[in-house]
Amino acid sequence: MTEGVWAAPGRVNLIGEHTDYNDGLVLPFALPHTVVATAARRSDGVLRLRSANEPGGAVELRVRDLAPGHGPRGWTDYPAGVHWALSTAGHRLGGADLSFESAVPAGAGLSSSAALEVATALALNDLYGLGLDRPGLALLCRRAENEYVGAPVGIMDQTASACCTAGHALYLDTRDLSRRPIPLDPGAHGLTLLVVDTRVRHAHSGGEYAGRRAGCEAAAVALGVPALRDIGPAGLPDALERLPDPRARALVRHVVTENARVERVADALVSGALPAVGPLLTESHTSLRDDFRVSCPELDLVVESSLVAGALGARMTGGGFGGSAIVLTESVGAEAVTAAVESAFASASYEPPVIFAAKASEGARRLA
C-alpha cells in the first residue's frame, strides 16, 4: 500500500564551487530531473528499499541495526543513512517501504545522491509527522552522507534539492545558512544555459575530494582563521605571502576569488546583466582547473570548444574530476555551440556528451 509520493530534484551549481566546506557562498539551482519516492510506513521495524534504476530487487534492513559502516555498501546507504540520521537526532520513526525512480543521471555532478537523500527525508518527515523544515532536513541529509556514507561533502547539494524554487537560483551563505532566491531566467534575456554531461563518472567518497577539503582546512589553521571564508579579497595577498606551500596558496586563491565571483554573479542576475555572468563562469573554471585542480581533460574541452564557438562563458559544475559542465550562450548560438562541443568530443575520441538546456526548477515536494 502506498501512502504518498515525493520528488526531490538534482541541481546545477551556477557558481561557488568547493566553497561550501569553507563556510563560503554558493549559487545552485534545481533541475527538472528528480528522484521520485513512493512510500508507506511499516510497523515491523523494517526499511525496505527498492530502486527502478538498480538491479537486484528490494533490500530489507532492520532499522534498529542501522549504523555507519554496517550496511551493505551501495546505493541503499543513502536512504538508510537518512533514516539513521533522523533517528540519531532523536526523531521517533519506524520502518518504511520506499521505492525510488531516478531521472537524475548518477555520477554526473548533478547531485543524484542529494536528491535520493532529500526524497527519503521528505517522505519520512511527512509519514512520521516529524515536523522538520527544509533546511533542517538538508542538514540531516548531509549528516547521513558525511557519517553513514562516508563522503565529506558540504551543505550545498542537499539545501539546493530541498529549498530551491522554480525560476530562481538559491544564494546560500553556508556559514549562517541564510538563503535568498535570485531570479534566473536566461531565456527571457535571449540566452540559454546548457548542461554538458561528459559522462566521465566520479565519486566524492574518493580521496581527491577529501584531500582538497583537508588542504583547505589546514590552510585555514595555518592562517589562524576559522575557515577560508574569513579571508576576503583584500586579505588575499597577505594570506598568500604567509603560506610557504604553493599548493596551499593555490587552494586559498581559488576559494577567496570564487566567493567574490558568487557575489558578482548574484549582483549581475539581480540587475538583469546576464551576459556579464559569462566571463565569471570562465574565470571560475580556470581557477578550478589551475588552482584547485579538480577539472579533467573532458571538462576543459567543453569549456574550450564552446568558447571558440561563441559561448559567453563556461565552467565545470559540481565536485569535478568528471561529471558536467555548464555553458552560457546566446540562444541563437546554442545549436552551433552544441555541435562544436560534440565535434570536439568526437575528434578527441571521447564518448559523446549528453547536452541539454537547463531550466531553474522547483525544489523537493510532495506529489501525492
Active-site residues, by number, are 157
Determine if 153 is a binding residue for ligand GLA (CB under 6 A): yes
Nearest to 79 by CA among 65, 64, 92, 61: 61
**In the complex, least distance from residue 365 CB atom to ligand GLA, rounded to whole angstroms:** 21
Residue type present at position 213: R
Site for ligand GLA in 21-40 (CB under 6 A): 21
The single residue among 9, 81, 313, 318 that binds ligand GLA, judged by CB under 6 A, is: 318
Half-sphere exposure of 285 toward its Cβ, with a 13 Å CA cutoff? 28
Q: Which is nearer to ligand GLA, 3 or 217 (CB)?
A: 217
The single residue among 10, 79, 81, 319 that binds ligand GLA, judged by CB under 6 A, is: 319
Q: Could you give the CA distance from residue 112 to residue 233 in angstroms, rounded to a whole number?
A: 33
Mask 266-305, x = binds ligand GLA (CB under 6 A)? Answer: ----------------------------------------
Give the cell for residue 132.
522538520
E strand map for 64-220: 95-102, 168-173, 179-183, 191-197
Mask 195-214, x = binds ligand GLA (CB under 6 A)? Answer: ---------x----------
Element (H, E) at 158: helix 156-163
Q: Which stretch binds ligand GLA (CB under 6 A): 153-161, 195-203, 348-356, 357-365?
A: 153-161
Give the cell for residue 271.
540587475
Site for ligand GLA in 155-194 (CB under 6 A): 156-157
Specify whether the CB–CB gap between 318 and 109 falls below 8 A. Answer: yes
Q: Could you give the CA distance from residue 368 to residue 30 in angstroms, rounded to a whole number?
A: 20
**In the complex, least distance from residue 71 CB atom to ligand GLA, rounded to whole angstroms:** 20
Q: Using CB under 6 A as the criterion, which residues of the chain lie in contact with ligand GLA when the complex forms?
A: 17-18, 20-21, 153-154, 156-157, 204, 318-319
